[in-house]
Amino acid sequence: MAERSQPPAVGLGPRCAERLSLLGVTHIFPATLPDPFPSSSSLTSNYVSSVYPYNPVFKKTLNTDTKWQEVDDNFKLCLESNKKWAGETAKADAAFFPTSSKGQSPPILWLGCSDSRVPETTLLGMKPGDVFTHRNIANIMHATDLSSLSVIYFAVAHLGVKHIVLCGHTSCGGVAGALGNDKLGLLDVWLQPLRELREKHADELAKLEGAEKTTYLSELNVKAGVEVLRRNPTVIDAMKERDLKVHGVIYDLASGTLREIACEEHETTGSNRVAAFERK
């Protein structure tokens, strides 16, 4: 995959740019400034090929002969790419879009990070309609977050998903931010559960360095998120009534693979949880 150029964040002070880079943000596109992506034919062409080499709907490589190198605007690139994808998909299966427009019955609810490198449907090799999704920064499960609660309620109570998959990932910018001590503005509030995990597991984390430390906190975050889900009343009811499964996984950016995280609980812990959270 061709490397995109990495110009520094523009229009920002060095301190702000440094903080954003902690979260993996290296590009800012103010409308009044030129697009930092060079529009040379090779770069744009490689960029498109790297993003759309594969159609997950039909498990085949797309023909990327469109003269996208002539597109020098990223939004135009999106529209052109979409038109091509829709055309290829309809050509391969004329019934796909008519069927898709009638409704959805996804078996999986995916709760993941907003990170652009972890697109659930793509990395699962699935197709539109297979995965209902909620993503937020660092895949944090706040017990009272209205957005994730609404998604979980609709997916579990109305769509009847069979599995909930909570996915963290390696090199997560949100996790790295919680392991640092910079002021991150609003994100300091959002990341609070991660900082609490950092505090609670300080001794274990102190023995680790670099990527190992970040990945370990990502794993702790997934385990904590699974516990939050197991205390969600909608999830509790579905686990009891129809054996809904809740899974925790870590996505490895370097290999593209998922690794299941052991989230089992001691029998006594489980029964205590059920007793405390059950409603009749």
Q: Which residues participate in catalysis according to the annotation?
A: 113, 115, 117, 169, 172
Nearer to Zn ion, 246 or 250 (CB): 250
| Cβ-based neighbours of 265, under 8 Å, separated by 6 or more | 273
Spatial separation of the C-alpha atoms in residues 137 and 115, rounded to whole Å:
7
Nearer to Zn ion, 121 or 136 (CB): 136
Binding part of the chain for Zn ion, among 61-69, 86-94, 98-106, 164-172 by CB under 5 A, reads: 164-172
- Give the shortest CB-115-to-Zn ion separation in angstroms: 4
Nearest to 161 by CA among 243, 279, 263, 259: 243
The reply on whether position 115 binds Zn ion by CB under 5 A is yes
| Cβ-based neighbours of 48, under 8 Å, separated by 6 or more | 64, 68, 77, 81
Binding part of the chain for Zn ion, among 43-51, 142-150, 166-174, 195-203 by CB under 5 A, reads: 166-174
To the question of whether residue 73 is assigned a binding role by annotation, the answer is no
Phi, psi of 4 (to 5 degrees): -80, 150
- Give the shortest CB-119-to-Zn ion separation in angstroms: 12
The reply on whether position 226 binds Zn ion by CB under 5 A is no
To the question of whether residue 263 is assigned a binding role by annotation, the answer is no
Nearer to Zn ion, 60 or 259 (CB): 259
Please select the residue that binds Zn ion; options are 48, 77, 113, 178, rule is CB under 5 A.
113
| Residue 69 · residue 37 · CB < 8 Å | no
- Give the shortest CB-114-to-Zn ion separation in angstroms: 7
| Residue 52 · residue 81 · CB < 8 Å | yes
163: number of Cβ within 10 Å: 14
To the question of whether residue 115 is assigned a binding role by annotation, the answer is yes
To the question of whether residue 167 is assigned a binding role by annotation, the answer is no
Nearer to Zn ion, 49 or 171 (CB): 171
The reply on whether position 172 binds Zn ion by CB under 5 A is yes
Binding part of the chain for Zn ion, among 7-15, 62-70, 113-121, 271-279 by CB under 5 A, reads: 113-121
Spatial separation of the C-alpha atoms in residues 129 and 244, rounded to whole Å:
19
- Give the shortest CB-136-to-Zn ion separation in angstroms: 9
Site for Zn ion in 43-72 (CB under 5 A): none
Spatial separation of the C-alpha atoms in residues 129 and 242, rounded to whole Å:
22
How many residues of this chain interact with Zn ion, rule: CB under 5 A?
3
Nearer to Zn ion, 117 or 231 (CB): 117
- Give the shortest CB-169-to-Zn ion separation in angstroms: 6
| Cβ-based neighbours of 26, under 8 Å, separated by 6 or more | 6, 7, 8, 9, 20
Q: What Cα–Cα distance (Å) separates residue 123 from each residue in 116, 117, 252, 257?
A: 12, 9, 11, 8
Binding part of the chain for Zn ion, among 106-114, 181-189, 223-231, 253-261 by CB under 5 A, reads: 106-114
| Residue 198 · residue 191 · CB < 8 Å | no
Residues found near Zn ion in the complex (CB under 5 A): 113, 115, 172
Binding-site members for Zn(2+) are 113, 115, 169, 172
Binding-site residue numbers are 113, 115, 169, 172
